[in-house]
Amino acid sequence: MNFPWLGRKQRTDELNEELESHLTMATEDLAQRSESRAAAAQAARREMGNFLLIREVTQDMWGGRWWRDLLEDVQYGLRVLWKNPRFLTVAVVTLALGIGANTALFSVVNGVLLNPLPYPHPEELVTLHESKPNFSTGSISFPNFLDWQKDNQTFSSMAVQRGTSFILSGLAEAEQIDAQFVSSDFFRQLGVVPVIGRDFAPGEDLVGAAPVTMITAGFWKRKFGSASDAIGKSLTLDGRAYTIVGVVPANFDLLGTMRSRELYVPVGQWSNPILMNRAAGLGFHGIGRLKPGVTVAQARTDMERVARNLAETYPDSDKGIGAALIPLRERVLGQVEPFLLLLLGAVGFVLLIAGVNVANLLLARSTGRAHEFAMRMALGAGRGRILRQLLTESLLLAAIGGGLGVLLAAFGTKAALRVLPETLPRAAEVGIDARVLVFAAGVSLLAGICFGLLPALKISKSGAQSALKEGGRGGSGTRHRVQRALVAAEMALALVLLIGAGLMIRTLGALWNVNPGFQPKNVLTFGFALPSAMSGANADSVRAALREVHEKFAAAPGIQAVSFSWGALPLSSDDEWLFWIDGQAKPANDNDMNWALNYVVEADYLRVMGVPLKTGRFFTRQDDEHGQRVAVIDEALASKFFPGIDPVGKRLHLNNGGDQVVEIVGVVGHVKQWSLDADQKESLQAQLYTPFMQLPDKAMAQSAPGVSVLVRSEDSAPVFESIRQASAQMSNQQVVFGAQTMNDIIANSLAERRFSMTLLGIFAGVALVLASVGIYGVISYVVGQRTQEIGVRIAMGAQRSQVLRLVLAQGAAMSAIGAAIGLGAALPLTRLMGTLLFAVSAADPMTYFCVVALLFGVSLAACWLPAWRAARLNPVDALRYE
């Protein structure tokens, strides 16, 4: 390896000595023939030639010339940049913005999409669901899961899981704990090894097994100070004692999206009476690991066979039920992939604009330096050498800008994630890693080369003589043309981004104006659990206790109306019951019955939610466990099952765990259950309301450890606090938890779009500012170049307003060309936004018009200052201007 920069000084000294000795020897030889020694020395020197030149040519033989030139270029470039701090600042800040925004977004894409899921062999993991008439990825019943596990031939293991919560008592004040029911293989197949203790054993997930639990490292620390003797201790959950067998590592994150859980309990411990009912999905979803080498398609075929066999064996419950397999990655990231890639494309535009701006700055500055380069060329610098010098300078700029950009990205990413912490899967894994740094370096390099090359070529091409002749003022028309074209390009890019942002704003506006079928303002939802001593109590005592709670909550300050809720909750969670219409034959099996979303609520529900009553009546306090069984339906159920008939007075058979016959007493408006934008796309629309107090006994007993409460409050009352106090006054063993306003629920359902809108808006804003700076720079520069001409015009009698118009017209022309190109590009590009848009066309004329007007307004404002300066020129000064 040759390190040319090492020992160079010493080698140069040696070379000097070598050449000196040559001279001495030549002098000695000549001295014998010359009259004087001085004459001999002179002759020897003449014969030798240019000492310095010889030395330099010889040094070139050592190699490393390239490095020395680079070092020189860098030193020179830094000096030149440093001498012009205003230019340096503008260029570096512009590049830092562009590179920073790209790096920030890339770090999100990298963390979320590119990095593999944090499990061993994540490509083998697929999520499992039941496909049923109304749901393509419905939940799996536990008995079906057990058969899937037993009968399949393509999976090395399978597990099911479901969120739940327990009331933990006995350690301190009772509290609600988020937990997860899992089957035995769950942790093993995800490659999770307990910190201490053991994993769940096979069979431990079956009904009747001894109650055990695994706790997470956070819970372990909080409750036991991470002491190892926690293993084997007992926890009281919903009044039952569970033995702690192991601790789950702190970094275990359930697919990156779920809320953090504090403990895990085997499925079989669930006290739900219909757990072993083959027809009951109960919210279980599965995850399986394919055997090595098995494809998803092979697994699907295998599972089709398994499901078909089950349907034959258990037609009552399994007819029409299939198995749905979705690769884990697709399930977790399928939703966000398109919009993240869209945003990455959009932020690329910002970088383009930033780069174009810097190219323009370099171009404008190069005119001032034409003289310098002409001089260097005249002194013998090759065109390649000049080109290299200029490229070195732009790369230096890009490197400084890139460095700042990475810093900006490090902070920007954190800020961006705070906007939307919950909706983005794997948000916690986003950060700056080696790949992000390589990306930033690559982008900086590319920007430096692309945007430095254009002005560099321009300069090195213009011959030395012409620049010298023009006395450093350069300024032939062609250079302006390039600058104008670049500004027009910036305008076009900015316009595309603005239109994207505009369409998102319109979409969100439209979504906020969608009528959800209820009035979300001032509605609060939260969970409530009776003291764990009530677990296992009979239905009558649970009813009595809940009645008392209802009274206390209703009397709390600021509360207008209260309703318990069981089953489905609009835009949050769904729950279905099966029914058939009285008078028709009972369907042979469950899957031939009709489906309805079930809302089990109290008399004040309509007042709380503001759902309109259409005909008949809603529930009263008399519709209780002693009264006749009644129901209220929504318009969708009415029009589907009672077309043209008044449903009031008709009766339905409910298959809800206690075969009930209910009489329809009223019809209410339809409520958007699934989402604001795509509710009507879901096949299940029918909605059925039943009185809370008429809930079948088994279900009522079950609601002791957890039931939803909905309250309507007065404007801006601190409701949750007064609810908490009301609850605490009754007993410190009952718990209120998970408060969320209806408005928050709606806002969360729009979070993904809001994220896109916010980012697109920021990108578009940055783009607009950069493009305005660009047009301002070019117009100022052109005005500067034309100072003399303008002076002549004014001296010849041109009006100030004419000068103003002259300059503004130039800006307007650039904007118009840019807008035309931008519109042409936006039409196809905004189609890519497809599913993100709602109730607004990708070619929405209103958006396009406003955005074009905005662009023109801003660009003319940016031109105003230089135009005004031009109009105010004193012709005498202008003519003297050099």
Partner 1 sequence: MAKQQYRNRIELLQGTLDLMILQTLQWGPHHGYGISQAIRNRSGEILQVDTGSLYPALHRLERQKWVASEWKVSGNKQRAKYYRLTAAGKRQLARERSRWQQLTEAIGGVLDHAGNEVES
When asked if residue 6 is in the footprint of partner 1 (CB under 8 A), the reply is no
Taking CB under 8 A as the criterion, the residue among 13, 28, 312, 540 binding partner 1 is 28
When asked if residue 297 is in the footprint of partner 1 (CB under 8 A), the reply is no
The answer to whether 92 and 330 are in contact (CB under 8 A) is: no
Pick the stretch among 55-63, 146-154, 610-618, 832-840 that binds partner 1 (CB under 8 A): 55-63
- In a 13 Å sphere around the CA of 707, the CA atoms on its Cβ side amount to 31
DSSP state of 693: G
Round to whole Å and give the CA distance between 756 and 340.
8
Tokens 């890639």 found at: 341
**What six digits make up the tokens of 246?**
């192991």
When asked if residue 642 is in the footprint of partner 1 (CB under 8 A), the reply is no
Question: In the complex with partner 1, which residue's Cβ is closer, 49 or 644?
Answer: 49
- Strand runs labelled E in 250-341: 263-266, 285-290, 322-327
Round to whole Å and give the CA distance between 354 and 360.
10
Taking CB under 8 A as the criterion, the residue among 8, 12, 19, 337 binding partner 1 is 19
When asked if residue 646 is in the footprint of partner 1 (CB under 8 A), the reply is no
Tokens 């595309």 found at: 496
Question: In the complex with partner 1, which residue's Cβ is closer, 47 or 316?
Answer: 47
Reduced to 3 states (helix: H, G, I; strand: E, B; else coil), residue 577 is strand
Q: Which whole-number Å values give the CA distances from 334 to 117, 329, 425, 465, 750, in the listed order?
A: 13, 7, 10, 61, 17
Question: In the complex with partner 1, which residue's Cβ is closer, 68 or 329?
Answer: 68
CB of 33 to partner 1, least distance (A): 14
When asked if residue 876 is in the footprint of partner 1 (CB under 8 A), the reply is no
Question: In the complex with partner 1, which residue's Cβ is closer, 53 or 172?
Answer: 53
Q: What share of the chain is helix, strand, coil (3-state, %, to 5)?
A: 55, 15, 30
Pick the stretch among 57-65, 87-95, 801-809, 829-837 that binds partner 1 (CB under 8 A): 57-65
CB of 58 to partner 1, least distance (A): 5
Task: Quote the radius of gyration of the chain (alpha carbons, Å).
Answer: 38
CB of 66 to partner 1, least distance (A): 15
Neighbours of 785 (CB within 10 A): 17
Pick the stretch among 25-33, 100-108, 541-549, 558-566 that binds partner 1 (CB under 8 A): 25-33
CB of 39 to partner 1, least distance (A): 17
Question: In the complex with partner 1, which residue's Cβ is closer, 23 or 445?
Answer: 23
Taking CB under 8 A as the criterion, the residue among 24, 243, 802, 835 binding partner 1 is 24
CB of 464 to partner 1, least distance (A): 27
Using alpha carbons only, give the angle 94, 358, 89 rounded to the nearest 5 degrees.
Answer: 50
Pick the stretch among 46-54, 225-233, 491-499, 837-845 that binds partner 1 (CB under 8 A): 46-54
Taking CB under 8 A as the criterion, the residue among 6, 39, 48, 196 binding partner 1 is 48
The answer to whether 590 and 655 are in contact (CB under 8 A) is: yes
When asked if residue 16 is in the footprint of partner 1 (CB under 8 A), the reply is no
Pick the stretch among 45-53, 195-203, 403-411, 580-588 that binds partner 1 (CB under 8 A): 45-53
Question: In the complex with partner 1, which residue's Cβ is closer, 33 or 150?
Answer: 33
When asked if residue 63 is in the footprint of partner 1 (CB under 8 A), the reply is yes
CB of 880 to partner 1, least distance (A): 52
When asked if residue 53 is in the footprint of partner 1 (CB under 8 A), the reply is yes
Taking CB under 8 A as the criterion, the residue among 10, 50, 251, 716 binding partner 1 is 50
Neighbours of 134 (CB within 10 A): 14
**What six digits make up the tokens of 580?**
């058939």
CB of 49 to partner 1, least distance (A): 5
The answer to whether 166 and 262 are in contact (CB under 8 A) is: no
> Could you write out the DSSP letters of every residue in 11-40?
HHHHHHHHHHHHHHHHHHHHHTTSS-HHHH
Find the largest Cα–Cα distance for the chain.
Answer: 142
CB of 50 to partner 1, least distance (A): 7
When asked if residue 54 is in the footprint of partner 1 (CB under 8 A), the reply is yes
Q: How far is CA 728 from the centre of its chain?
A: 39
Residue 396: closest CA among 104, 76, 68, 65: 76
Helix H, strand E, coil C: the string for 215-276 is: EEHHHHHHHHCCCHHHCCCEEEECCEEEEEEEEECCCCCCCCCCCCCCEEEEHHHCCCCCCC
Binding residues for partner 1 restricted to 491-550, rule: CB under 8 A: none
Binding residues for partner 1 restricted to 386-425, rule: CB under 8 A: none
**Burial class of residue 465, CB neighbours in 10 A (0-12, 13-18, 19+):** exposed
**Burial class of residue 527, CB neighbours in 10 A (0-12, 13-18, 19+):** middle
CB of 385 to partner 1, least distance (A): 21
Fill in the amino acid letter for 228: S
Round to whole Å and give the CA distance between 668 and 517.
10
CB of 251 to partner 1, least distance (A): 56
Pick the stretch among 47-55, 500-508, 558-566, 836-844 that binds partner 1 (CB under 8 A): 47-55
Taking CB under 8 A as the criterion, the residue among 5, 33, 61, 801 binding partner 1 is 61
Taking CB under 8 A as the criterion, the residue among 7, 13, 16, 47 binding partner 1 is 47
When asked if residue 34 is in the footprint of partner 1 (CB under 8 A), the reply is no
Pick the stretch among 22-30, 223-231, 316-324, 676-684 that binds partner 1 (CB under 8 A): 22-30
CB of 21 to partner 1, least distance (A): 5
Pick the stretch among 23-31, 90-98, 109-117, 563-571 that binds partner 1 (CB under 8 A): 23-31
When asked if residue 789 is in the footprint of partner 1 (CB under 8 A), the reply is no
**What six digits make up the tokens of 811?**
């800006």
Residue 501: closest CA among 760, 752, 754: 760
Pick the stretch among 17-25, 202-210, 258-266, 474-482 that binds partner 1 (CB under 8 A): 17-25
Helices 800-830, 751-785: axis angle to 10 degrees equals: 150
When asked if residue 582 is in the footprint of partner 1 (CB under 8 A), the reply is no
Q: Are strands 135-138 and 125-132 parallel, antiparallel or unpaired?
A: antiparallel
Size of the site for partner 1 (CB under 8 A): 24
When asked if residue 1 is in the footprint of partner 1 (CB under 8 A), the reply is no
The CA dihedral of 642, 643, 647, 653, to the nearest 10 degrees, is 0
CB of 57 to partner 1, least distance (A): 5
Question: In the complex with partner 1, which residue's Cβ is closer, 63 or 824?
Answer: 63
Question: In the complex with partner 1, which residue's Cβ is closer, 22 or 198?
Answer: 22
Round to whole Å and give the CA distance between 578 and 76.
81
Question: In the complex with partner 1, which residue's Cβ is closer, 29 or 659?
Answer: 29
Residue 105: closest CA among 751, 762, 750, 826: 762
Taking CB under 8 A as the criterion, the residue among 46, 49, 82, 172 binding partner 1 is 49
When asked if residue 21 is in the footprint of partner 1 (CB under 8 A), the reply is yes
Taking CB under 8 A as the criterion, the residue among 6, 13, 16, 22 binding partner 1 is 22
Contacts of 273 (CB under 8 A, 6+ apart): 657, 698, 702
Taking CB under 8 A as the criterion, the residue among 6, 25, 438, 544 binding partner 1 is 25
Taking CB under 8 A as the criterion, the residue among 42, 58, 560, 655 binding partner 1 is 58
Pick the stretch among 19-27, 440-448, 579-587, 627-635 that binds partner 1 (CB under 8 A): 19-27
Question: In the complex with partner 1, which residue's Cβ is closer, 51 or 411?
Answer: 51
Chain contacts with partner 1 (rule: CB under 8 A)? 14-15, 17-19, 21-22, 24-26, 28-29, 47-50, 53-54, 57-58, 60-63
